[in-house]
Amino acid sequence: MIWDLWQDTVHSPFMNMAFDEALMIEASQRGRPLLRLYEWDRDAISFGYIQKVEKVPKDQGRFVRRPTGGGIVFHKHHFTYTVVVPNEHWLVADLKPIDSYNWVNRAVQKALQKVALSTDLANQEISKSVDRAGMVCFTTPTKYDILLDDRKVSGSAQRRAKEAMLHQGSIEMEGLESLSTEALREALPAGFQEIFDCEFADFQTTEKLELDAKKISEEKYSTDAWNLKR
């Protein structure tokens, strides 16, 4: 099976979210899964779609509401990836969301193994006592998050829309000498290849995708109407 691989570069918080949404919208047209690897142009905070903005530390130009769920993520020493899968693919069509988390996070776990990190997948759901409206992602493990000596080092959130499944993930690099952006850019595709038995084709962005993402960023992710909506 062929997947697309986009070794993307550095963007603003708003453009990072906008590119993910634009890729999701075009997923059925591409017809195959895509793995995007990318970075942020500033220290930033992203937070889940259903979270309360009053619970999020705010710094103008540095925080953005994601299209997916999950908790508050401080993007300072993180590397981020996105998986976009058409709804016709077995990962979406044949699996419940929690099971697709298992598959994707096992691929990330395999990637971390390739950079000498032996990790475990969390096996417990978030406690009902946790305030999801203000929870911090990396202090609140949930099922299939990736743990290193009981410390959460990778978390993710997912959205299933009419166009595709959007899965956004983040890997904590602080204090882990074997992790670097260069190492993860090499290891993550290798981990996905091994778990999904796939090969990657280099993804080439188009003028249409660039323009669509710019419009989505300007009209949605960089606006108060989106970021302050709850």
**137 belongs to the catalytic site:** yes
- Given 5, 27, 122, 137, which residue is catalytic? 137
Q: Which two tokens stand for residue 113?
A: 């193994």
For the stretch 144-149, contacts whose Cβ atoms lie closer than 8 Å and that sit 24 or more positions apart, written own/partner, are 144/98, 144/101, 144/102, 144/105, 145/105, 145/121, 146/105, 146/108, 146/109, 146/112, 146/119, 146/120, 146/121, 146/122, 147/119, 147/120, 147/121, 147/122, 148/112, 148/117, 148/118, 148/119, 148/120, 148/176
Does residue 108 contact residue 173 with C-beta atoms inside 8 Å?
A: no
- Tell me if residue 221 falls in helix, strand or coil: helix
d(CA 146, CA 172): 10
- Report, as residue numbers or ranges, the catalytic residues: 137
